[in-house]
Structure formats: C-alpha cells, structure tokens
Amino acid sequence: MALSLFGNAGQGSAVRESGFAAHQAGVDRLLASYRAIPDDANVRLAKKTSNLFRARAANPAPGLDVSGLTKVITVDPVAKTADVAGMTTYEELVAATLPYNLAPLVVPQLKTITLGGAVTGLGIESTSFRNGLPHESVLEMDVLTGSGEIITTAPNGPEADLFRGFPNSYGTLGYTVRLKIALESVQPYVALRHVRFHDLRALESTLAEIVAEGSYDGEHVDYLDGVVFTADESYLTLGRQTDEPGPVSDYTGMDVFYRSIQHDSTTPKRDRLTIHDYLWRWDTDWFWCSRAFGTQNPKIRRFWPKRYRRSSFYWKLIALDHKYNIANRLEARKGNPPQERVVQDIEVPVERTADFVEWFLREIPIEPIWLCPLRLRDTGGPETSGRTWPLYPLEPKRTYVNVGFWSAVPTTSGQQEGAANRAIERTVTDFDGHKSLYSDSYYEQSEFAALYGGNTYTELKKRYDPDQRLLDLYSKAVQRK
C-alpha cells in the first residue's frame, strides 16, 4: 500500500477519525460564524481570494469562517474515493491522492481552484471528454444552506433536487462543507502528441472522432485539449497515460508550455511530462496570460522567482490592476482608449466549434484561445444515465467544446458597455451553446432565467434559502453593484 501524508494502511482508521474530528471542529466554527451574521445581512464567505473575474458585491457584515474547511479529510485508496472539505484547493487534493497513484476525475487547470468552487461554479479540463465536469464525480456532499442548516445530499434521496441543482448555483443555494468524490487510477507519466491543423473544420471533425473513439491513429487518448493560434494554425494535444520510464520535459523553468505545442511538421510533435507536471502544465504561466506581466520575456523570466510563477501570484497582480486601474492608465498614456475585459469560457456543440471560432477570430482580437471537449459523464449505469443538471442544461450523450479566451479589447466611443461580451453572449446562444458565469455577464433577466434554471432555480431558492440570506443567481452573476 502506498504511503501518503495520511500515513500507512495500518494507521488508516485512526487517521480517518482524526481527519473527521478536525473537520468537525471546522464545521463548528463555520456554524458559529453563521449565527454571528445579522439577520438582515447577506451571508457570504470570509474569503480574501477568489477565482472569479466578475466584481463581488461589497458587504460590511462578517463572513462565514471557512478556515477549518481547507483540508483533505481522508483518502480511501481501495474504494478510490476521497472525503474533502469544501474549501480545499485542487493543489492540496492532488498532493494527497497522487501518492496512491490516484487523481480526481477532473482536475481544473489552476492550483487554487477549490473543490467546492469547481462544483458550485463548474470546472473543466482535458479529461472532460470522458469524465464530464467536476460535479459529476461527487458521490455525496454536505451543504450549508441559506437557512443555516447543513444538509447531506446525494444523487438519490429527499434532497436530490439540491444535489442536481447545486452545480452552477455559485453559492446562491449554499456552500459545500464536505464532498465525497470518486477518484481514478493514474500512471506516473503522460505521453503527449501535438497534432497541427491548418483548417478549423479538419480540427473539428478530428476532435469529434477522438471523443467518439477514444483514440487517434491507433493510439489510446486519455487527455484531450487544444489551442488555436490563428485560423490556419491550431493544435490538438493528445495525452496518454504511461508507466514507461524515460526523459520528461519541465515547463516550470525557462520553457513555456504553450509555446512547446507549436511546430510546422505534418507529423505530430511528441513530448512527455510527469503526471504531476501534466496536471499543472497550465498553472505556471496561467495558460499564456503571464505574458501580460512580462514573465515570458527570457530577460525577465530568468530573474522571476519560480515560487511566483503560478496563478495565485498572478491573481494578486490582477487585483492590484483592478484596484488602481493600472492597465487603462497605461493605455491612456499611450493615447489609447480604455480596455474591455473579455475573460470567458463558453461551450458550443462540437459541430458548431469551427463556426464559433471563425466568428471569434474575425470579430474579437484575442489569441490564442483554448479548446476543451466535454460530454456529460455516463458510466452506463442508472446513477448517471440521462442525468441532467438544470442550472447548466447540457444534453446527455452530446459532445460540446469549451472555448476559453482571456484578455481585453479596446473599447469604442459610443458603444454600449460590454459590447464585445454582449456580442459573444448573443453568438453563443445563436449556436445553441452556454456561457460560464465566473466573469462579466450582461443578460436581461428573462433571458438569463431561460438559460440558467428558470422555475427550477426559483423553487430551489424557496426551499433552501427561504429568507433570501444569500444573493440570488442573477444578482450575483449579472447585476452591477
């Protein structure tokens, strides 16, 4: 039996009891902090950091104390499950599971994303074409609802409606206190193939075939995502788990991962990473967004400490920019107009991928963009077959492609606020797609309700937050404060 920070197998029972005891102490502090919030104040997390790009409403009331809910409680390597406190980061979760050669079914790209955040706010990664979204690997969860009650909810049972309605609720129905999730076995290395395309239609059809077959050119595919640089330069990166020893690349130093993808050959470019480095390949440079800080300039990178080459540090720089409006001030000094932030992830059906990307490259001056296919998870059993998630209603047995783009574009005098984001929202809807809600949104309330739960959300809100202690989803995701 592998060792981990939780000790060896002989210590398993004692470690499990200790983990749950510590967790219960954290729950007690959480409940005490809830009771301390005035009845007329909105309940919120006392959390200084966030992976949201939209502004959070100011709230002078004290927040929920989640300081005791940041750890992995226990890992069961036999059952391949983990019990995890809601505010635990994926960095901590992966560190606890990899010593057992296990990993979460979906590991979002950035280390500081929390498990609870990925479930209530959605998450995605290169296993999503076969494992769906993070909330689909949840077996059971404890939720602190707006009414101050901790409810244990699972796919079946009297509160199954909360289980199904929780994904994409963004803390407006409650906050996860504990989650029990399924894990999967992983090998120590990932062998990569970067396949180049000169035509987006060819990329689209190849991507759909890989999702359907689980292989490409006779070789199994465990991980699948892509990058579009231009209309005639795009790539799919195919990953295969392996235990074969051999040299591996390191993209935490001078080399930048996304630049390693590019090549001119018709033959796929091959590479290898440890499973740890593969899972965090995007975090070192926040995909490609670290270039905005000069981090990819070799003259700067050489002296930029490694400990600051990570998404959590870039978030601090972004927070400073938001506070002091640094970017727009610099643009003004150059005689340029203010910038509109365009930081979004959207999903469109796979057959509309090329249509959307072509429109985007034509209308929105941002590159590169990220592609990640997904299908709702279906194990073939009754627990997943046909399951839907009403607040983010993807169709079962249908392939979608997430398109991620994260930058800013110049504003034009006289245009409506958020002109580029509004155009993206209209186009996504026209293409039968969906947009994540972690960033700026501009929907009218009736359209928003039709897209994100409608009456189902209203009924859940009445049942689990009857006194409106939590903001509602539209207020949180769209309305300006």
> If pLDDT is split at 50, 70 and 90, which confidence band does 98 have?
very high
Q: Among residues 185, 203, 236, which one ends one of the domains? A: 185
**Same domain, residue pair 290 and 326:** yes
Helix (H) or strand (E) holding 115: helix 115-121
Percent of the chain at pLDDT exceeding 70: 92
**Same domain, residue pair 258 and 400:** yes
**Same domain, residue pair 285 and 387:** yes
**Domain hosting residue 355, numbered range:** 189-435
Instruction: Measure CA of the first residue to CA of the last residue in the chain; give whole Å.
Output: 53
Sign of CA pseudo-dihedral 433, 436, 441, 445 = positive
Report DSSP letters for 222-265, one per residue. Answer: SEEEEEEEETTEEEEEEEEEE---------SSSS-HHHHT----
**Same domain, residue pair 259 and 407:** yes
Average pLDDT over residues 232-243: 98
31: Cβ contacts below 8 Å, ≥ 6 apart: 144, 148, 150
Overall domain count for the chain: 2
The pLDDT of residue 51 is 54
For 117, the token pair is 């955040």
Do 56 and 172 meet the contact criterion of CB atoms below 8 Å apart? no
**pLDDT averaged over the chain?**
91
CA distances from 456 to 61, 118, 135, 220, 451 (A): 30, 21, 18, 40, 11
How does pLDDT run across 272-285, given as a tens digit for each residue?
Answer: 999 999 999 999 99
**Same domain, residue pair 158 and 73:** yes
**Same domain, residue pair 242 and 323:** yes
How does pLDDT run across 269-322, given as a tens digit for each residue?
Answer: 999 999 999 999 999 999 999 998 999 999 999 999 999 999 999 888 888 887
In degrees, to the nearest 5, what angle opens at C-alpha 177 toward C-alphas 172 and 180? Answer: 115
- Assign residue 148 a region (left: φ > 0; alpha: ψ between -120 and 50; beta: otherwise): left
Average pLDDT over residues 34-56: 75
**Same domain, residue pair 29 and 118:** yes
Check whether 385 has a pLDDT greater than 60: no
**Same domain, residue pair 151 and 194:** no
Check whether 48 has a pLDDT greater than 70: no
The pLDDT of residue 4 is 36
In degrees, to the nearest 5, what angle opens at C-alpha 58 toward C-alphas 52 and 64? Answer: 75
Do 293 and 268 meet the contact criterion of CB atoms below 8 Å apart? no
Rounded CA separation 187/225 (Å): 19
Instruction: Determine phi and psi for 278, rounding to 5 degrees.
Output: -65, -45
Percent of the chain at pLDDT exceeding 90: 80
Q: Which of 92, 107, 178, 106 has its CA nearest to residue 139? A: 178
Rounded CA separation 171/168 (Å): 9
**Same domain, residue pair 146 and 253:** no
Average pLDDT over residues 424-441: 96
The pLDDT of residue 49 is 58
Check whether 140 has a pLDDT greater than 90: yes
Report DSSP letters for 63-110, one per residue. Answer: -B--TT--SEEEEETTTTEEEEETT-BHHHHHHHHGGGTEEES---SS
The pLDDT of residue 53 is 55
How does pLDDT run across 346-382, given as a tens digit for each residue?
Answer: 999 999 999 999 999 999 999 999 999 999 997 666 5
Check whether 247 has a pLDDT greater than 80: yes
Check whether 481 has a pLDDT greater than 50: no
**Same domain, residue pair 208 and 154:** no
The pLDDT of residue 10 is 47
Q: Among residues 126, 150, 185, which one ends one of the domains? A: 185
Average pLDDT over residues 103-122: 96
pTM given for the model: 0.92
Q: Which of 366, 310, 360, 316 has its CA nearest to residue 109? A: 310
Check whether 59 has a pLDDT greater than 70: no
